[in-house]
Amino acid sequence: MNISVVIPLLNEEESLRELHQWIANVMQVHSFSYEILFIDDGSTDHSWDIIETLSEQYLEVKGIRFLRNYGKSQALHAGFEKATGDVVITMDADLQDSPDEIPELYKLITEQNFDLISGWKKKRYDSVIAKNIPSKLFNWAARRTSGLKLHDFNCGLKAYKNIVIKNVDVYGEMHRYIPVLAKNAGFQNIDEKVVKHQARKYGKTKFGYDRFINGFLDLITIWFLSKFGKRPMHLFGALGVLMFFIGFTSAGYIGVMKLYKLAYDLPAILVTQNPWFYISLTTMIIGTQFFLAGFLGEIVLRSRRDKERYKISDTKNF
């Protein structure tokens, strides 16, 4: 199969039929073999009813329905597990991503051998204050920390080799950083393509201002994991040993000075009355805790990860 189109969605009943027809037209014109995977992330409208109807009418349409809203990352994870196409395209269900971009994205993956192509919505139709400015700040920070020179990390329209989506673990809210996850997994041939941004035709956006706060927190997380995720002892152990050494040395110095003053009948206070003694003791305790945190992190990494991510209530055509 040439292409798998993975579409996470939440309450997009107005756009689903139009989106399906648009994708189908593009695929037929270019003679692609394809499948469309709709992942219903706990919609409360009639989105699943429409997906069921489409799957009954068209064999290439498949659906996955979550019992409740788990988030876009979990929806993409479910779609990636089921996708079988040589090239996997992700897009949003709100018609703001244009299926007309699919053929060019496919060529970049298959003919120019890119591992991942990320869409760049250079001209946007969103609110400047609500989305454009925060997005620019967010993307700047992502470029600085990840080393990837992409302009739009959070664009829903992306293309991947199948092997890429089978080797990245999209969890939490890490869908914004799939290019970074792919880079950390060893895929280096990553680039971007300018794509059209359509104005929203139906409904309203599902994202609030909190997504930018969460995005920056996730960015810190992924930066830390990329640096020390496979070797936590290298960070926590080093910090622990350093702090314990500083605290132990300081406490030893305090003790030696006490003995020195006693030996020469110099005025001296009790060690327990010296505030620096407690600072040294606290430093040693914190150093021990850092060391234990690194040790526990190493144990956790060697333990079997819990794979329960979400609960699926229904599927279609799998």
Pairing verdict, β 190-194 and 61-66: unpaired
Q: What is the value of pTM for the model shown?
A: 0.74
d(CA 18, CA 100): 13
Level-2 CATH architecture, domain 3-228: Alpha-Beta Complex (3.90)
Number of DSSP helices (H) and strands (E) in the chain, helices first: 11, 8
User: CA 7, 12, 18, 21 torsion: positive or negative?
Assistant: positive
Tell me which H or E stretch contains 12.
Answer: none
Residues 6 or more apart whose CB falls under 8 angstroms from that of 318 comprise 62, 64, 82
**For position 72, what pLDDT does the model report?**
92
Domain ranges of the chain: 3-228, 232-301
Dihedral sign computed on CA atoms, order 214, 218, 219, 220:
positive
Mean pLDDT of 183-204: 85
Report how far residue 158's alpha carbon sits from residue 190's, in angstroms, rounded to the nearest whole number: 11
How far is residue 17 from each of residues 34, 48, 93, 101, measured CA to CA in Å? 17, 12, 10, 19
pLDDT, tens digit, 9 for 90 and up, residues 145-178: 788 889 888 899 999 999 999 999 888 778 888 9
As a whole number of angstroms, the distance between CA 232 and CA 229 comes to: 6
| β partners of residue 191 | 117
Give the whole-angstrom CA distance, residue 155 versus residue 124: 11
* 8 Å CB contact between 187 and 115: yes
Contact 117, 150 (CB under 8 A): no
Find out whether 103 and 157 touch, Cβ atoms under 8 Å.
Answer: no
Q: Please write the tens of the pLDDT for every residue from 260-318.
A: 888 888 888 888 888 999 999 999 999 999 999 988 888 887 775 555 556 677 787 87
Q: 102 — phi, psi (to 5°)?
A: -60, -50
Question: Does residue 117 register a pLDDT over 60?
Answer: yes
CA distance 178 to 102: 19
- Nearest Cα residue to 173 out of 66, 76, 313, 306: 76
CA–CA distance, 97 with 85 (Å, rounded to integer): 20
pLDDT in tens, 194-250: 998 887 777 666 555 566 677 677 777 777 767 776 788 888 999 999 999 999 999
The predicted structure's pLDDT at residue 125:
64
Kindly list the distances between the CA atom of residue 55 and the CA atoms of 83, 188, 190, in Å, as whole numbers in the listed order. Answer: 16, 36, 33
Token pair belonging to 78: 């479910």
Give pLDDT, residue 13.
94
For residue 311, what pLDDT is reported? 64
Backbone angles phi, psi at 90, to 5 degrees: -110, 140
